Amino acid sequence: MIDTRTAPYAALILRLSLGILFLAHAGLKFFVFTPAGTAKFFGSLGLPPELAYLIIAVETVGAIALILGLWTRISAVLLIPVLLGAIVTVHGPAGFFFTNPKGGWEFLALWIVALASQALIGAGAYAIDNLRSAPAPVAVPASA
């Protein structure tokens, strides 16, 4: 049975941790590898180098949306293909375990499951989504 008192806070913890992780992941590409270096790496994989800029943008915007709880379900779903692409192009051939050389795909698979879970349970507590979907207040007639 789901505890409806604490479930919104569990969704909040999941949402914030996913958002922070994606922000760190985008930050790695931007501040450490640099956008140009990331584009060069994408090109070495046979991908269009320009795709790197799109991925950095998607990860950054998706991370911020998750942290704020804005379009949470959509953001979570839209981030899944980024991870699937990383599995197919880089981490899949390295095997399952992330400790393998070039890192395996176990961490990315867990990340995908967490994003899918977030998409299913929604934003949770302290989310902009809750403000946007709140029912309109009901006018109470003044008593005489």
pLDDT tens for residues 44-99? 999 999 999 999 999 999 999 999 999 999 999 999 999 999 999 999 999 999 88
Read off the pTM. Answer: 0.88
Side chain identity, residue 72 = T
- CB within 8 Å of 91: residues ≥ 6 apart: 98, 102, 103, 104, 105, 108
How far is the CA of 8 from the CAs of 4, 5, 61, in angstroms? 7, 7, 23
pLDDT tens for residues 20-40? 999 999 999 999 999 999 999
